[in-house]
Amino acid sequence: MNQLDAEKIIESLREGIPPDGKVSLLTVGRIEEINRLRQILHKGGPKALLIKADYGCGKTHLLKFIKEEALNLGYVASLITLDSKSNARFNRMDQIFGQVCRNIQVPGINQKSVRYLFDALFNPKNKLKLSSEKAEKLMFKISNGGKWNYSNFLRSPSMFIAVRAWKFSYDNNHKNPPGIDDAIEDWLFNPYNYYSQRKSLYYKFIANLRNYFLDPRPEWKFYDPREGIFNFQIKGYEQSWDALYDLNTLAEAAGYKGLVILVDEFEDVIYNLRNIKYQQDAFWNLSQFFSGERFPGLAFFAVTPNFVEKCKKLLQEKNIWDFDYSTFDRLEKFQMSPLSTNELLELSEKIIKIHEIAYSWNINEKIKEKIRKICINSSRIPVGDRVRQTIKNIVKELDSYLRVN
Ligand SMILES: Nc1ncnc2c1ncn2[C@@H]1O[C@H](COP(=O)(O)OP(=O)(O)O)[C@@H](O)[C@H]1O
Ligand SMILES: [Mg+2]
The reply to whether 82 and 45 lie within a common domain is yes
Pocket test for ligand 1, best of 27, 348, 387 (most atoms within 8 A of CB): 387
Predicted confidence at residue 374, as pLDDT, reads 98
What are the tens digits of pLDDT across the range 146-177? 999 999 999 999 999 999 999 999 999 999 88
Q: Does the residue 80 lie in any domain?
A: yes
Is the beta carbon of 55 within 6 A of some atom in ligand 1?
A: yes
Domain termination residue (choose one: 235, 262, 288)? 235
Q: Does the residue 120 lie in any domain?
A: no
Predicted confidence at residue 175, as pLDDT, reads 94
Is the pLDDT at 17 greater than 80? The verdict is: yes
Q: Give the mean model confidence (pLDDT) for residues 5-21.
A: 97
Is the beta carbon of 255 within 6 A of some atom in ligand 1?
A: no
Q: Does the residue 374 lie in any domain?
A: yes
The reply to whether 348 and 250 lie within a common domain is no
Is the pLDDT at 13 greater than 80? The verdict is: yes
Is the beta carbon of 335 within 6 A of some atom in ligand 1?
A: no
Residue 262 Cα to ligand 2 midpoint, Å, equals 12
List the domain range (segments joined by +) for residue 265. 31-114+237-335
Q: Give the mean model confidence (pLDDT) for residues 174-185.
A: 94
User: Exposure string (b/e) for 64-84, b if CB count within 10 Å is 16 or more?
Assistant: bbbbbbbbeebbbbbbbbbbb
| CATH number of the domain within which 289 lies | 3.40.50.300
The reply to whether 311 and 361 lie within a common domain is no
Residue 128 pLDDT grade (very low, low, confident, very high; cuts 50, 70, 90): low
Predicted confidence at residue 111, as pLDDT, reads 97
Is the pLDDT at 193 greater than 80? The verdict is: yes
Is the pLDDT at 328 greater than 90? The verdict is: no
State CA 244 to chain mean position distance: 12
Is the beta carbon of 391 within 6 A of some atom in ligand 1?
A: yes
Is the pLDDT at 195 greater than 80? The verdict is: yes
Is the pLDDT at 240 greater than 90? The verdict is: yes
Is the beta carbon of 29 within 6 A of some atom in ligand 1?
A: yes
Predicted confidence at residue 405, as pLDDT, reads 57
The reply to whether 291 and 371 lie within a common domain is no
Is the pLDDT at 15 greater than 70? The verdict is: yes
Is the pLDDT at 303 greater than 90? The verdict is: yes
Ranking 19-28, 226-235, 309-318 by mean pLDDT, the lowest is: 309-318
Protein residue whose Cα sits closest to atom 14 of ligand 1? 56
Is the beta carbon of 59 within 6 A of some atom in ligand 1?
A: yes
Q: Does the residue 248 lie in any domain?
A: yes
Predicted confidence at residue 319, as pLDDT, reads 87
Q: Does the residue 230 lie in any domain?
A: yes
Residue 127 pLDDT grade (very low, low, confident, very high; cuts 50, 70, 90): low
Strands 104-105 and 76-81 come out as antiparallel
Domain termination residue (choose one: 307, 335, 363)? 335
Is the pLDDT at 129 greater than 70? The verdict is: no
Q: Does the residue 328 lie in any domain?
A: yes
Residue 50 Cα to ligand 2 midpoint, Å, equals 14
Residue 386 pLDDT grade (very low, low, confident, very high; cuts 50, 70, 90): very high
Q: Does the residue 121 lie in any domain?
A: no
Average pLDDT for the chain:
94
Is the beta carbon of 18 within 6 A of some atom in ligand 1?
A: yes
Is the pLDDT at 404 greater than 70? The verdict is: no
The reply to whether 365 and 318 lie within a common domain is no
Protein residue whose Cα sits closest to atom 27 of ligand 1? 17
Is the pLDDT at 125 greater than 80? The verdict is: no
**Which ligand gives the minimal distance to the CA of 56?**
1
State CA 114 to chain mean position distance: 11
Residues with CB under 5 A from ligand 2 (ion): 59-60
The reply to whether 44 and 57 lie within a common domain is yes
Is the beta carbon of 98 within 6 A of some atom in ligand 1?
A: no
User: Distance between CA atoms of 4 and 277, rounded to whole angstroms?
Assistant: 50
Is the pLDDT at 97 greater than 90? The verdict is: yes
Predicted confidence at residue 327, as pLDDT, reads 81
User: Distance between CA atoms of 167 and 151, rounded to whole angstroms?
Assistant: 15
Protein residue whose Cα sits closest to atom 2 of ligand 1? 27
Plot region of 324 (φ>0 → left; ψ -120 to 50 → alpha; else → beta): beta
State CA 102 to chain mean position distance: 9
Domain termination residue (choose one: 335, 361, 389)? 335
The reply to whether 18 and 76 lie within a common domain is no
The reply to whether 305 and 362 lie within a common domain is no
* This prediction's pTM: 0.96
Is the pLDDT at 130 greater than 70? The verdict is: no
Is the beta carbon of 16 within 6 A of some atom in ligand 1?
A: yes
Q: Give the mean model confidence (pLDDT) for residues 319-343.
A: 88
Predicted confidence at residue 131, as pLDDT, reads 60
Predicted confidence at residue 180, as pLDDT, reads 96
In total, how many domains does the chain have? Answer: 3
The reply to whether 353 and 311 lie within a common domain is no
The kind and range of the H/E element at 133 are: helix 133-142
The reply to whether 62 and 106 lie within a common domain is yes
What are the tens digits of pLDDT across the range 207-239? 999 999 999 999 999 999 999 999 999 999 999
86 neighbors 232 (Cβ within 8 angstroms): no
Predicted confidence at residue 295, as pLDDT, reads 97
The reply to whether 345 and 261 lie within a common domain is no
Predicted confidence at residue 330, as pLDDT, reads 83
Q: Give the mean model confidence (pLDDT) for residues 101-119.
A: 97
Is the beta carbon of 53 within 6 A of some atom in ligand 1?
A: yes
Instruction: Classify residue 332 by its DSSP letter.
Output: -
112 neighbors 103 (Cβ within 8 angstroms): yes
The reply to whether 226 and 82 lie within a common domain is no
In Å, what is the CA distance from 399 to each residue of 11, 229, 346, 365? 11, 57, 19, 16
Q: Does the residue 122 lie in any domain?
A: no
